[in-house]
Amino acid sequence: MSAYTIGVLAGDGIGPEITSAAMTVLKAAEKRSGYELFDWLELPVGKAAIERYGQPLPQMTKDALRGCSGWLMGPHDSASYPPVYKAERNPSGELRRSFDLYANIRPSRSLAGVNGLTKEADLVIFRENTEGFYSDRNMFAGAGEWQVTPDIVLSAGVFTRRAAERIADAAFRAARKRRKRVSIVHKANVIKLGFGLFLETCYEVSKQYPDVAVDDFHIDAAAAHLVRHAHRFDVILTTNMFGDILSDLTGELVGGIGLAPGLNAGDEWAMAQAAHGSAPDIAGTGAANPTGLILSATMLLDWLGERHSDRRAEKLGRVIDKAVFSALAGETRTPDLGGNASTAQFAEAIIAKLPV
Ligand code: ATP
Ligand code: MG
């Protein structure tokens, strides 16, 4: 029997192409390693699910995911007009809420063969994923804004000690396996109570990790430093909106939107999801770069390894990472990186780099 059932939610646009590429690479790596780790379960989500089941995230998909160890999530269309999903009903938001995926983890790492805009950087952002000013997911559940008069709006931010504690704990745990430095990013000089509580709680948690160095930056200073000194950062610990914004900045600094991975992690489940959107302009043409989702999948393997104390999952993740990095340094490239290889050809190039 396999150890983990992995859900696969293809999603919209380039989603089917990149999820299929990611599955092909994981299956090949699993086979070469001799481990029997995965069962795969493809489930409907997004526009395809609306067509067949009348809703973007059918109950059967949610029920099936409860029996999964984690899943790969394709992007959803957020650019069409009129919008496909009402703001509070987009499938990945709903999954984050239903499965309490409170940590959004977004690494940015300089890679050989990729033209970055920065010196060698290797950092990871831990973004609080359940509250702050994102009223689609905080306790106001989509209703956290009030039109006071036609000319005045109030928008609520929610900050709780518990949410700060658990994202801080995840960030410090990760720092221990890295270069042992956490930088807290906030704006406690202006939003004194909300960001103040976040900052104070993060420092409180840091006391349990005396071996990890900690400092903090205002968001404006952090953005400026990142442009010139991204290489100095290791783990960035921050709130929902700042993590969203900074991860676009750091993703672009190291090479662009097709490469940036992400994991939405809770205590029981985790969802691998690339940082980019559904790229409707290239959907169906086979031009999508699957790297972001494949590296997200290896983050899921790391998470499984930690959650289940399973060295095999982590080892497999490292093997795949290495193959991806060495494929990126090679000749076979997708159009976003200046080549003319298809999504599937690039997946094959990665497989060719796996150890035999
Ligand atoms: P969405 O609403 O789904 O976010 P979007 O129009 O914002 O759609 P993005 O997916 O965010 O599109 O992409 C922005 C640009 O980057 C597009 O030109 C797209 O083709 C490109 N892009 C995004 N992801 C990839 C990828 N994996 N490989 C290659 N190009 C990509
Ligand atoms: Mg987009």
Q: What is the pTM for the complete model shown?
A: 0.94
Question: What is the CATH class of 1-101+258-356?
Answer: alpha beta
Q: Rounded CA gap, 171 and 181, in Å?
A: 10
**Fold equal for 1-101+258-356 and 117-253:** yes
Q: Where are the domains of the chain?
A: 1-101+258-356, 117-253
Task: List pocket residues of ligand 1, CB cut-off 6 Å.
Answer: 13-14, 75, 77-79, 257-258, 276-282, 288-289, 292, 336
Altogether, the residues listed in the chain come to a count of: 356
Model pLDDT, residue 138:
76
Phi, psi of 71 (to 5 degrees): -155, 160
Q: CATH number of the domain at 117-253, out of 3.40.50.720, 3.40.718.10, 3.40.50.360, 3.30.360.10?
A: 3.40.718.10
Q: What confidence score (pLDDT) does residue 266 get? A: 97
Smallest CA separation from ligand 1 atom 19, residue: 279
| Cα–Cα distance, 343 to 349 (Å, whole number) | 10
Phi-psi category of residue 217: left, alpha or beta, with phi > 0 → left and psi -120 to 50 → alpha: beta
> 3-state class of 299 per DSSP?
helix
Is 187 designated active site?
A: yes
| CA separation for the pair 198, 188 (Å, rounded) | 8
Summarised one tens digit per residue, pLDDT across range 48-77 is 999 999 999 999 999 999 999 999 999 998
CB atoms within 10 A of CB 67: 9
- List, for residues 141-188, the tens digit of each pLDDT value: 777 899 999 999 999 999 999 999 999 999 999 999 999 999 999 999
Instruction: Compute the distance between CA of residue 294 and CA of residue 275 in angstroms, rounded to an integer.
Output: 12
DSSP state of 259: G
pLDDT at 1: 60
- What per-residue confidence (pLDDT) applies to 83? 83
Q: Is 262 exposed, middle or buried (0-12, 13-18, 19+ CB in 10 A)?
A: buried
Query: How would you class 330 by CB atoms within 10 Å of its CB: exposed for 0-12, middle for 13-18, buried for 19 or more?
Result: middle
- Note the ipTM here: 0.94
pLDDT higher than threshold 80 for residue 87: no
At residue 113 the predicted structure's pLDDT band, cuts being 50, 70 and 90, is confident
Q: How many CA atoms lie within 13 A of 282 on its CB side?
A: 19
Predicted confidence at residue 88, as pLDDT, reads: 53
169 part of the active site:
no
Predicted pLDDT at 312: 96
Share of the chain above pLDDT 90, in %: 87
Q: What is the mean pLDDT of residues 7-30?
A: 98
Q: Where are the beta strands (DSSP E) in the chain?
A: 4-9, 38-42, 70-73, 103-109, 122-128, 145-149, 152-155, 181-186, 213-218, 235-238, 263-265, 270-272
**Ligand 1, from 257, 278, 293, 336: best to mutate by most atoms within 8 Å of Cβ?**
257
Beta-bridge mates of residue 158: 132
| Residue of 72, 76, 276 to mutate, ligand 1, most atoms within 8 A of C-beta | 276
Beta-carbon contacts of residue 253 (< 8 Å; ≥ 6 apart): 108, 116, 117, 118, 121, 226, 227, 230
pLDDT of 249 higher than 80:
yes
Alpha-carbon gap, residue 115 to 333, rounded angstroms: 13
Letter string b/e over residues 190-207, b meaning 16 or more CB atoms within 10 A of that residue's CB:
ebeebbebbbebbeebbe
**DSSP bridge partners of 109:** 122
